[in-house]
Structure 1
Amino acid sequence: MRGIGRIGGAVVLALLAQGGAAFSQGKLAPPSPAAPKPADPAFETARAAFEPLPEAERKALQDALVWTGDFNGVTSGSFGRRTFEAIQAFAARTRLADPASPEGRAAIRQAGETARKAARFRIEADPVSGVTVGVPEALLTRRTALPSGTRWQSADGRVTLETRAYPPDSETLEGLFERATAPVNGRRVTYRLQKPDFFVVTAETATGSSYTRYATGPQGLRGLLIGYDKALSGEVGRLVIAMANAFDPFPAAPSVAAIPSRPAPAKPVPLNPAPQAASPLPVAAPVPIAATGLAVAPGKVLAVVPEGCAGVITRDPSGLALLAVAGTRPTPLILAGGLAEGAVVALAAGAQGVSAVPGTVMRERVTAPLQPGSAGAPVFDGQGHWAGLVASYPNAPRLVAGIAPPMSLPVIPVERVSAFLASQGIALAGAATAGLAEAWPAVTGLTCR
């Protein structure tokens, strides 16, 4: 890998935790006085073009250069010598005339995205440890649940990624640091950094390299551990840096506080209208079916309903149904690129109207405190993009004091929903900007007679 040898596998990883301080022989060294260097016109020109860019674009460019193998630092958005040299290296290798132009920046981002997709790199929330982590799924194909985290490994076992968590008062940061730096089993510590709220340790053996980071917070201790065969440094170096950059020990939960509250509807939309003519037999009262509907076309609602309900236009074997419901209108939404694992929010109908329920998706299942009425609830990812539908809800859920606790329910990914609707001639309308607040008016509770 360009620019990353054994230093990239050890010291550079440590620098990710504290912004790239100076180092010498694997240890931080205080800056030494030096005579002022003459100005570098190329560096200053590149800085003048880079720094006015929005922060998100600056970070995206650095991230892309990590994936092209040219940048081995923190994706902070700050311009320095590492960023300058990475841009210059990419431009020289690809014969890019002006990397600072919009076309040049687009070329950098595209090259990074191509490499990222090839690695199938996905940033996800680990529901066991609670951390956010980046996983190159093309390499780390084996996944194992641990008592306090998750382990991902390559098929040959030569690369391992682990997350770990300790509840408050069960372990100390100092104790973990001492164990991580102890010279055992031929391990030699190549870098150590200890702060009051986190530490970073890199080490190596005769054949392997490792990176360990732990952080402390009100939820306890959470950590990331990466180990890999030294012989693979050139191949996996950028993946290791990307994993370290993506690690967030205490990610913020998706906020629903800003979502405007909606009053409960006067009554759920009936799928079977009551008979208009008098009947010698009493008419049965409406029976709730615990269903949430999402308007996808004027007068047409997408839902998951049981057999026997009138108004169903068509349905597929999974229970996904298209229904005719007068008066409903769709809202254009942004569709997610896939059902990514991580934090989500479901808009679910219930006795008190439509509510936003936070949860976590893992392996096409959502774990959330959803209540009766949640079958068919649309699920939105952390960016507010529509990612799928809750596929079912138990007919007789286990209740605690009348409330259903968090449970794991299957989710139908939005791409399967789109294919189902396309078979009925309905193309989902997209939106330039949309989120939960925009989706809310299209969600309604349903009943069945």
Structure 2
Amino acid sequence: MLRLTMIGACVLAMSATLPGLAGAQTQPPAAGVPAADPAFDAAKAAAAAMGADDFASIQQDLIWTGDLNSLPSGEMGKRSYEAIRAFQKRIKVKDTGILTPPQRVTLTQHAAKFTARYGFATITERGLSIGYPAKLTTERSDGKSGPHFATPKNDVTLDILSIPAEKESFEALFTRLKTERPGRKVTYSLLRPDFLVVAGTNDGKTFYLRFIKTDTDARGFAIGWDPALSPGFDRIAIAMASSMKLAGTDQSAAVQPTPKPVDKPVPPPEPPKPVGPPVPLPAGAPATAKNGIAILVSDKGDLLTYASVIAGCESVTLQGGGMAKVVAGDLDNNIALLHADAVPSLAPLAWRQPALAEGEAVSLLSGPTPAAATVAALTGANDDSRRVSLSAGAAGAVIDKDGALAGLTAADGAPTALKGLFVTAFLRAHAVAPPARGGDPTKATATLTCTPKP
């Protein structure tokens, strides 16, 4: 028998993290001043540093591994913290609540096993984009309100539905769905202005329904499954709820308010941008060939380097004769981005997520052999919050003990480096995504040559 209390708790957790319910992941504090929890505070800071999108992807994977039973919010709460710790305990590492880059790769691999098992794929139906267990629900038929999917044994059924508002109001739909009858037991129901959730059992099957409200209809899904498939299958309902979006948008499935039109003057057309290298040579600088180092930071051929090395070039030559295009650069911070269509001899580095700590042991990668160093201070000259001071200097990448990119050292070999968080922000600003897994740091670098046009 399926434990209905577990399903009810699962659904409650899913609804508790919806947009608009601020802080819902965190349990209500006890009376008085809550006890300090430095480990949780550190994990929360690490999650905030990596950004909401990245942390939401971690939460999504934790749903698939069965460690998290709430919708991804992009924010660290107690549920997410305990979910990460539970996963770390299961893979037999220290349960800090902060995933190292190798642990993040392991989490992705574990989650991928479950998505592959169910063939979780995205489908667009009835104005919704939603993930569903395509490998199981292979039988399809069309109903009046939307498509019906089922397994050959009919032990899993799925309906994607659109109910016109003129036919049934959102409130009336909720009342109908939560009504019990012989053989139907509702264990949880929730109505909000823009969504509803109902869950329970119906004629021997566990079910979960979720609808969103639009101006013209209610859109959602109803999934039912044989309790014998639980608890492994229960995560499907959470995964479907977290994947559901209005078709053709990147917004969550919650209804977004329609902004009122505002008459604005039409701006004059922008003048054409000057043609030339993305990072021009500074005034008076000679147009001479320069050599430097490039670090592969993605699976798609994105490389990190120094703006001072590639200034004046639209493309550079990599070791072995390959070419890379100069994408962007920042001369003030001496950081630049390249892109190559193929770098077969290199392996991308994972990205460090938590900030470096004073006294932490790192290595400097400027060639085939990394050199040992220590983080001496968290700020450099003039309290520059973008930089860290090191016990040694070399042009290249700062690598943490797990082999992940943690910063970019000074091009002149001075014992300072751009912080990993600043480097990450620069890369994300140019749509660079971290690699699916980190490679060997000694295989992540290549030399380059920039020859500016005279």
Relative to the length of structure 2, the TM-score reads 0.49
